Structure 1
Amino acid sequence: MPKRKMRPNYAVAIALALLFSLAALWQPLPLASLELSLFDASMNLPYGGKDVPGPVILIEIDEKSTGKLGSWPWPRRFLAEMVTILAGDGAKVIGLDIPLLEKESNQGLQALRGFKEKFHAYSFSRKDEGLRPWVLENLGEIEENLDSDRILVEKTKQAGNVVFPAFITNGRHGTGAVEDDRPLLRSVVLKGESLKVWGHEAIDRVSAPFTELSQSALALGHTALSLNKGMEGRSHALFVPYKTGLLPSFPLQTVISFLGANSKQFSVEGSRVDILDFSVPLWQGEMLVDHRRSASPVPRYSFSDVLLAKKVPSSARGKIVLVGLNLEETPKILTPLGSAVPPVELHANIIQAFLAKRFITRPSSMVWLELGAFWVIGLFAAYCFARYGRWSRLIGILGLFVLVLGAGFFLFSQGVWAKTGSIALFVLALYPTLCLSMFFSGERAGGESMEVTRQLGIGLQEHGLLDQALEQFRKLPLDQEARNLLYNLGLECESRGMNDKALIAYKAIQKGGKFQDLDERILRLETLDDAPPAVAQAEAEEELQVKPDEEEPIRKIGRYEVIQELGRGSMGLVYKALDPKLNRLLAIKTVRFSDEFDPDVVQEVRSRFFREAEIAGRLSHPSIVTVYDVGEDQDLTYMAMEFLDGDDLEKFIRKENLLPLRKVLEVVARIADALDFAHKAGVIHRDIKPANIMLLKEGGVKVTDFGIAKAVSSSRTRTGVILGTPNYMSPEQIMGQKIDYRTDIFSLGVLFFQSMTGQLPFHGDNLSTLLYEITQVKHPSVRELAENIPKACEQIVDKALAKHPDQRFSSAGEIGRLARLIISKMDQVKSQRSARGRAS
């Protein structure tokens, strides 16, 4: 079997790996969407870590609250009262996650202040002057009660633990500038040198709460979701660059306040942020938010319930309490869990995950591991594809696909995000790509190749070619079946005296461990090799016996008088003889079975020969040679048949002596007719070849040797001659499979190919290579090897030479009809040309 080159498969795998590597780095939209979909699917897996209730409480301004307290926005005294309640309940940090950018617009308060100014300017009489202080005092009290902003500022100062959000719009600029940005600058951390670690432009305009409220706040934090496109709800920008430093996000600022950390307890690197004992992994400068469902979700309460009860149902002592909007008109953020949540809920989840140290990380080395996976998987697949059958390949690819996705989900469950979507897609793309590569390069998969090797070995052993069979069996993986095949072959080699070959077979089996009586057989054979046995000496003496220089020529076979020797066949001589009773010339084919076959099968072969010859003798067709008689003369078996005056087709298959195409088609048509007749009578020839086709001088065509091939095909020869001509054998015949009439159609296709081109469709430096070509390699194009061959002829050859019998012609008669149709077309064209020539 020829050595298969693996380069095409490897080249295709490398090219595909390179393509996917570039795509993974570039992340085109479809691929990015796939990775984000897998990210979201992974986030829906349950959290497998230790689940501890978090210190976060969420109070929502919801539809229930507006139903009780009136439509939003409310007077800010409600917020002030909530701050007082929470501070009194022991909340460690209060986060008012509500936009309070401008002071409250209160027309009553404005009217009151206008009246107060006019009252100051009014001139009272001496009698009424005493009313002025009293009126101003009461107006002041009313003004204080109506000024909700002032109340909120005061309550915020009193609490001393309130964090407010600052808003950034369109990535860089806010909706309004802060009159006094000192509160924002006070909230900035890591000033100066830390800016270089962020790849974003510094933001110089932020919308913060109005000045008095900002000044009363413990800290301010930005509310930008993510600075990375498409990652909103998935990642969170812990910082944004603001002027000379980094402004923490609202959730992070809340955490910082909760932990009591100061700027000296911060450190930031490109891949992580360290705050006290918290090390937060970053991806592209942001924290990947862990939304995985927890058994301890954030407790949630309605604003109105807390306000009316004057306390939080579960104690807020030592906890973080976030107050925010969750109304129908509140903008929502889509999370990987598929639910849309208000910003305050997202912020609560971020804080909860942060304090529980539930982080999703994507190490910078992960990119290189993913790129390496493309190359390792690609080269591994290229290696395996040529060694396994199609089903093994398909199962392997599907298994690898599931393994890659499973590895991604497992890593995510451990808090590591690996982009396995592109790798899984690459695995799926490998199957059709490598299959097409193998198809166009003519490679065969190893599983299929090993089956071919096994069948070839069995076929060669059946034909008595034990050396070649041993060569094939040694290529097989050393499993139980291969060991059995080698053992049986070794036994047969022993029986034929081929001890060296038997020893090679046994030692090949021994590599797989103990097997039956192998050790005893090897020891015995090695002993025989070391000491020349008496048998060998006897054989040597027998070899030296004087043999007659020449046997006496045969004068008579049975009742037939031999006239002359016509030639030598594969197993005997052919004579021209005379039947004295009928005074008829005939040809006699002889075979001495005792010379050709082992003694234990001679009688079986002889009986089968007579039986098949009798069947063939009943075939009566103009293109099939007539068999008159079969018999034995001492140990010589013979077949008397019609004497043919002509030449066999061997004379006309050389390039320098090819028949005209029309004559070739005529010969093929007659052979096809003969085969079709025999097939319908239940007879398969099994050895169609030029030597068995006679072209008579009077123009006829005769097919010879019907039945002989079948009579001897399954018996062991002494000489190791293959019975049946390998060049013309069908794939199923070589592989020892069950054959039918379609094996003759294949042989006829080979003969047709050779008659047109002067060469065989299959070649090999040795028998093994030839048999591999016949069973596995497509024949070359007839029209590329010979000029002026009609397309129809090539189509006939291609169909006749199909590897699988089902793809060949359904009968030999079809070939005959098509050949005659081509002859008719050729004659028609020739007559038209002649007519045009005469006309001109």
Structure 2
Amino acid sequence: MAKGGTKRGGRTEWSIGGLVVVVFCLLYLYRAPIGFLDVLELKTYDLRMRLFGGELDEPAVAIVAIDQESIAKLGRWPWPRSRIAAAVQKLKGAGASVVGLDILFTEPEESSGLATLRALREQFTRLGLHKTAKGARFSKAMKRMAADLDNDSRLAGAVKAAGNVVLPFVFDMSGRIPAIKSAPPGFITRNSLPAGFIPRGDYPVEPLSASDLLPPVPAIGSGAAALGHLNRFPGRFQDGVDRWEPLFIEFQGRYYPSFALAVALAHLGMDTGSLRMGSGPEGEFIELGPAVLPVDSNLGMLVSYYDAEGAFPVYSFFDFYYNKINPDAFRGKVVLVGITDVGLGDAGPTPLAPLYSGVEREATVVENIIRARTVTRPWWAMAAGLAAIVVMGLVTTVVLSRLPAKGGAVAALLLLAAFVGAVFYAFALRGLWLELTHPALLVVVNYLAVTSRRFWFAEEAKQVAEVESGEANKLLGLTFQSKGMLEMAYEKFKRMPVDDEMKGILYTLALDFEKKRMWPQAYDVFEHIGDASYKDVAARMERLKHIITGPGARPEPRSAAGDTGLITEGMERPTLGRYELIEEVGRGAMGVVYRARDPVINRYMAIKTINFDGVEEQMIPQIKERFFREAQSAGTLQHPNILTIYDVGEDSGLAYIAMELIEGRELDKWIKGGKRLPVKEALAVAAKVADALDYAHSKGIVHRDIKPANIMVTKNGVIKVMDFGIAHVQSSTQTKTGVVLGTPSYMSPEQVEGRKLDGRSDIFSLGIVLYELLTGHRPFKGGNITSIMYNIAKSDPPPLRSYNQSLPECCQRLIDRALAKDRRRRFQTAGEMSSAALACIKSI
């Protein structure tokens, strides 16, 4: 073909270019079917943010961080609120402009000592003992002690005395209407704006609406200088990255500012009543005195992140609390107090980092508002993106139709570089987010389409000749076979003459098909060899024929539903993934367990297939995805009392877990038929299991299905907790009528009631196991599943001594606390339960 192409070729290239432009315009306007382009655009936005986020020369915000060091030295979180009160007083004394407590105080701090002291004082007064001189002095002393123990009052007093503290609250955005819809407290509403804040007219504004509100404790919140919501919406973007701040949320006809906005306004000497909303060429904005802050139609803003490292001065709470920081570091600044220890959960992904603490994120938004610096996506950005697609498509079509392949590549790269540079320039200098992905990708696709068309016919004959050559087919087939693509390998091998070398290759391929239990394909390959006397081909074909056509034949039994048995006598040992299955060692409702070998490192292990039989068909992908995610997390657990998980995978639709191979018996076999363990032995088992659970909980993993069948005692007497990461599959398994399979005897009340679970649910289940080990009976019984579940949620178990009079009192105390219906009254960690069990052993 000539450089410019024939007239017919030019017309064809114009047709290709026009078709590409039309396709990309449709993809741009109707984004839903092609979500990956939007994700790619978000990634380019994040790249722009990382490149041009900028540095802060003199940040207005400083952070007092509740970090790992502080928690290690001052004790586990949450701390007594008296400590927060002391921090507020110190910051006020240091001259902080505003103190923002990025901590929720939605519930009173519970203190058993305070409750006891108040009850004692009431009884003292009721008996009239306070009327005597000594009684009056004693009553005043009790009052002083109660004040010392009332941390909420101390924090409330500090907040009110400081006069510059901003507190957060949260909205319920679920859309569920509460049973009693009451107005929020006055100290909340005084920070809000009426509906008239949005002028009537053509303002296309629709703020997010909340269904309920969770305010701070009134005694604390009423003394705050301002309050703001702490709701975040990483789900606004489909990749879950936090890029957006809702400056206002509507609730019961009023608009409530965000925590960051409330903090920034307090620093600027403004309040919400001084805000005004306007509209300009680039869209809506909020007036902050002489400055303006662009907002979108939901009254939100795109967060402009600064450099991830060192954007703000961060001081450890421990160093600040013990006066190791110069107070001048806080003078005149906004000081945010919040958690930076990502282990406590207040962290999420941002354009700059996969984990960014919540308080640093709030500091960024506060700084954005104070400086009126943000990223905007103006109303005309959509039209500009569409125009860029059309222009870039036309230009590339014109240029490529007149240049050879190399010249066209250079021209396309220059055009692409110019466009990307213009988009980056608009972001860096004006803070404008303009569409990059669709126009840029169009240039690449248009070049590939036009160039491919030019060389298609010239290269086709050469490519076909190369692919169809015998040696190429053999090499391709062997490559496919090595990668497990057996059917594609067979397609290549069938084009080869069957000589002695090819018989060996085909024989190996047939054995690979047998290992994958693909019986018809294995039979077809043996038949293609065409020589029944070659090795044991005739015998293998006979066995395969019986399997395929015999009674109860199941040619390819692997499926998402489950495993009905993979090992077939007389056939090659089957494989799951890379693992060779040796023998079946057990089976149950969840699947089949095999003894297996990893041929790569020659390690023997157990392989457990996961049975999804009974799960609603449309739910299988969702349940399977969660299974892989949680099993991978459980694979990180390394503890002597937890069964080690080596690998998790899927082969031909069958999910499996590769785990440590141990010999022993499950705990339910030891107590079968009402048998019970000796007291010390039962307590030792509970202590070991609790120690394992405490370790798992510290990694953020909850078992959800602690029961005797999931606890194994090895031949050496070692306790092993099994089935981490797969309990939700059992809980998701349902019959066609929707009835949950399995017994609920070891569930916690929150499991029965469908509430969110944490480690305390496992503690309750372990308490049931210990009760059964000590007595030979389960604590909650019933004639059916419904009555058992009711007793778990509402009834107290019979005392231990009603079954075994010899049990010590410490066992009853341990059981009472572990089986408390209110999880706040249980052991708060499994480590506490382990310590209590060991202490009971020592006392016996």
Give the TM-score taking structure 1 as reference length.
0.49
Larger radius of gyration between Structure 1 and Structure 2: 1
| Larger RCO, structure (CA 8 Å, separation 6 or more) | 1
